[in-house]
Amino acid sequence: MPTPEPPQTQADSDAVTVPDSGAEPGEQARAADPWAQMPDDALNTSSVGADRAPRDAEGETEGSEDEAEGAGGRASEDAAAGVDAEADRTATARAESWADFLPSPVFLLLLGLAGFAGWLSWTHAELDWAAEGTSVTPLIPPLLILFGWIVSTAVHEFAHALAAYLAGDRSLRGSAYLRLNPFAYQQAFGGLVLPAVYLGLGGFGLNGPPAYVDWDRVPTRGRRVVVALAGPVASLLLSAVLALTVSLLVPVGQDTTNWAISSLAFLAMANLTSALVNLLPIPGLDGYHVLAAFRGARWTEFVRVNGLFCSIAVFALLWLPVVRDLFEKSVYALFDLLLPNPTIPGMMFHGKLLLQFWA
């Protein structure tokens, strides 16, 4: 019978196996490595890696929260951008409205001041204010003429601006030119100051060049011609309305020295001279832009840079005594030919004397 093997003790089972000296070197290394002797399921315990799982879950939760916050932030930004875009469209729609063409409060104030000065001039109020027997130099009629001329200048420039806007220059929408506010002109010196100086010193009307029009935005030659002629046409219409008013106030065969009527007659002459002079094809005048419409961009660019100086040169030429006297006689003769009352040119001259009270 075979001899049974004695049972192994706990010491024998816990003893480290000593590699056989006759084994191969690789087998000796594997036998000596404690990790190789560890059972395969030694790490499959519930405690190993348990502390890592909550951290992973927590990391995934934080990542989900970050992604949710990022998505919410992007949604909020998109919503805010949409609101801003809608607000911009609303503001643009509100800005571009029919109110852009309404007369400004400044223009209405000018009309009110002109009307008040006209009433004081009509009643000769300054004579009542002065002591009896005192010589009076009327100062209200010059104010009436000044206010009336500023209104006439605003209408002249409004005609240019409206024609340019309808022809394609949308940059003028809502501007002072379309709202009849001469004190807010971009070119206030040429559009307001110079015309007032021309009238006060020369005794005739002359408007500055329309330097505010962007001629590159007016596409065709015909439209450019219409824009250039709109101002003189407006001045001609104002002159006709004022001359007709004077003709109705002073019937044929009668004469008057009323300050208000003489001021209106002089304003009629000032608007006519402005229209006639501006029709000349000279740089700085409206007639030049009619010619420039057929000559090219070089001509337009020249007057854009030098138009103000050319306008002053034209006034200096007309201010010469010989030229001025001939020019005024021609205008008086034209009114005498067109109007039924031959005394109206005399009223115009009286209005000029009221304006140039220092002369």
- Mind telling me the catalytic residues? 157
How are the residues of the chain apportioned to helix, strand and coil, as percentages rounded to the nearest 5? 70, 0, 30
**Which residues touch 347 (CB under 8 Å, ≥6 apart)?**
246, 250, 255, 256, 261, 262, 265, 266
C-alpha 326/C-alpha 317 separation (Å) is 12
C-alpha 328/C-alpha 346 separation (Å) is 12
Burial of 247 (0-12, 13-18, 19+ CB in 10 A): middle
C-alpha 121/C-alpha 115 separation (Å) is 10
Q: Name the phi and psi angles at 139, rounded to 5.
A: -110, -15
> Please, what is the Cα angle at 342 between 336 and 347, to 5 degrees?
95
Is 215:300 a contact under the CB 8 Å cutoff? Answer: yes
Distances in whole angstroms, Cα of residue 271 to Cα of each of 141, 150, 215, 234, 266: 17, 11, 25, 9, 9
